[in-house]
Amino acid sequence: MLVNSKKMLLDARNNYQVIYHFNINNLEWAKIILEKCNSMHTPVILGASLGAIKYMGGFRVVTGLVKNLIEDLGISIPVCLHLDHGDSFESCKKAIDAGFTSVMIDASKLDFENNIKETKKVVDYAHKSNVTVEAELGHVGGIEDNVISNILVANYDECVRFINETGVDSFTPAIGTVHGIYKGEVNIQYDLIKKLRDNTNVPLVMHGGSGLSHDILRKAIKSGISKINVNSDIQYVWMEAVKKFILENPTVYDPRKIIYSGRDAMEKFIEDKINILHDNK
């Protein structure tokens, strides 16, 4: 069932649980993630970045792919199809018009007032179509930022103002994580998470969920994170498995066999991530 992220994230927030956002890159990624989460009865958010959407052929290709997989595979868990890091009102509008059920407007490169303005514009448009909106404040860097510094971290008072004035459904405060594989020490701002969890009512999102230990993830969830985005880690475990398969099977040329040889590793990774939810109470 394709749904927006409202209920699943509020349920997670209210129970100090988390919904995973796993990024999809292609048919196989979407299929493997859907089947695995379905077998574990765990709702999931499929995140598609603008780059991945372009790679797959366009917004409508992605909605068609996900909708039809849900139907043809008999997926019965709630599934949300989410635009990851929409860079403008226009890109969010394209996703909404194509049938995405959730969008992220990442106007974090704009100054504070313009970030509010752009985000509010997306919220007003999205809510008319029952689409949920996530937005970011502060800056969740990439691996180029590498060194985790306080400059990246969102300011509490601005976060509260941002949430109230934009009407977003979920919120990404920069809390010290970065996208990609970590090289430096991660310094997560648990106090900021707790304060926002206790004083606002929107589900909080952690970007850059790769490369973090299960203890860190558990602590973040206990502090009040309700959505964790994971991309690089799945790509990495897939790559390692496929590399091994190719080395061990140098004569295989069927792309289905090659691409799918990463399936077990991906499934194991997803299973481990979901299992941490059960001992997080």
Q: Residues in the site for ligand 13P, rule: CB under 6 A?
A: 23, 47, 84-85, 179-180, 207-210, 229-233
CB of 141 to ligand 13P, least distance (A): 10
Is 87 marked active-site? Answer: no
The DSSP H or E segment spanning 63 is helix 59-72
Q: Please, which residue, 165 or 182, has the CB nearer to ligand 13P?
A: 182
CB of 189 to ligand 13P, least distance (A): 16
Let me know: does 21 contact 84? Beta carbons within 8 Å: yes
CB of 234 to ligand 13P, least distance (A): 8
Q: Please, which residue, 149 or 249, has the CB nearer to ligand 13P?
A: 149
Among residues 11, 72, 84, 97, the one annotated as catalytic is: 84
How many alpha carbons lie under 13 Å from residue 257 in its C-beta half-sphere? Answer: 10
> Counting beta carbons within 10 angstroms of the beta carbon of residue 11, is it exposed (0 to 12), middle (13 to 18) or buried (19 or more)?
middle
Q: Please, which residue, 96 or 230, has the CB nearer to ligand 13P?
A: 230
CB of 72 to ligand 13P, least distance (A): 27
Q: Please, which residue, 101 or 231, has the CB nearer to ligand 13P?
A: 231
Active site residues: 84
